[in-house]
A = this chain, B = another copy of it.
Amino acid sequence: MTGPVNRRSPAPVAARAFSDEERRALYDVIAHRRDVRNEFLPDPVDEDVLRRILEAAHAAPSVGLSQPWDFILLRDPLRRAQVRAAFARANDEAQAMFPPDKRSAYAALKLEGIEKAPLNICVTCDRSRGGPVVLGRTHQPETDLYSTVCAVQNLWLAARAEGVGVGWVSILDEADLRPILRLPEHVRVVAYLCVGHVRELFDGPELAARGWARARTLDAHVREEGW
């Protein structure tokens, strides 16, 4: 039988439903995710595990389906030592920015696992991805950076479910990272992540456990109809 080409109009389908147990799994991953600094084990992250984690990141929403992220995998000890040195410079500067009475407490915090973790992942945003006009970026040009952060959060949750810890190191001057990573002009660093298996984690935010900061409850953050 022949007939006219059937150019069917795209249509939604029945949405995948999730059970109470599945919801509980998601909520537990979210609740047990930690920013890891010191608990990394030296074991390499298996390629299959890493692939699943990166696929989860790559399934993130992106403005205009531009998928502006890239994942630079760093294992070379020399390169990671360069990044660690850049951290040390920035961290010395950071310490001096705090009031004198907080500096020794700041200096006592371990804030990165760049060399302890067997894998680092720099998540970048290619600001030219998708061409000069991207659907959804016309009035909020920063949304490509935000898409990239969505990928980071997916990566973080997937890693947690795989028994892999992630620590986001933001005490880095991007200008120091760019030559180490050979980044072209149009590519921005969004997140520099330390990644490795963990057996132990803090049972709440480490900065709270160490008395540096206190977490607030949700109620203070919900508003109705306006600020």
Chain A contacts to B: CB under 8 angstroms? 10, 12-18, 21-23, 25-33, 35, 39, 51-52, 54-56, 58-61, 63-67, 69-76, 79, 90, 93-94, 97-99, 106, 109, 111, 124, 130, 133, 135-140, 142-143, 145-146, 149-150, 152-154, 156-158, 160-163, 165, 168, 170-174, 180-184, 187, 190-191, 198-203, 205-210, 212-216, 218, 221-227
* A189 CB, min distance to chain B CBs, angstroms: 8
Given contacts A10-B206, A157-B157, 18 further A-B contacts (CB under 8 A): A12-B202, A12-B203, A13-B201, A15-B32, A16-B201, A18-B161, A21-B25, A22-B28, A26-B29, A27-B161, A54-B222, A67-B215, A72-B223, A73-B222, A79-B226, A93-B139, A181-B226, A182-B226
| Cβ B56 vs Cβ A187 within 8 A | no
Q: How far is the CA of A144 from the CA of B192 in the complex (A)?
A: 15
| Cβ B18 vs Cβ A72 within 8 A | no
Question: Can you identify 23 A-B contacts, CB atoms within 8 angstroms?
Answer: A12-B200, A12-B202, A13-B203, A15-B201, A16-B28, A18-B28, A26-B56, A63-B170, A65-B208, A67-B221, A70-B223, A72-B225, A79-B226, A97-B133, A124-B227, A130-B213, A135-B212, A135-B213, A139-B171, A140-B172, A143-B170, A146-B149, A150-B156
